[in-house]
A and B are shown apart, each in its own frame.
Chain A
């Protein structure tokens, strides 16, 4: 069966520090991968999606970047965090585009 894991679950970081959130999917190959963010009082916003290794599409201008170094690994990064980067980040995968999404456990980031 397929599983998705993301970590860390909780992160408290100072402004200006770097960020790395990781997500891995097991039990499937060539998944479509997504990073979503839920900021306070807002819905899920698509940040990045990837249909293959090294292929990243960015949805909104922001302080974040994503990489897909392996087929089932998706990484969300920042060189210098801003206060506005605080939120709940969800990694997700799908087989079809745009098929049902399967979400990870989420990572709550607080930037102080």
Chain B
């Protein structure tokens, strides 16, 4: 079945460092891909998305490119801030007819940014 694999955390960075969180997926068809962020004690917020190959999603300085050839959707940010400390989830929604839109999540990666 469809699945998402993220790099294990926690990831600890200093402020202004470059961030990469790896995400790879397995899916039949052409899924849509998402990154969600969860701050402590809160629900998930959509960070960015891409719906087809080579699309780049971007928001708040974060970017991720849908790479069909490597089945990846790595999250990047050029300069992280302390306020970016959170748990980041990669997710997919299967494509094709009959798709109900349910999301399949990776296990989450905790990011801690130190001043």
The answer to whether A binds B is no
Residues of B within 8 A of A (CB): none
Chain A interfacial positions (CB closer than 8 Å to B)? none
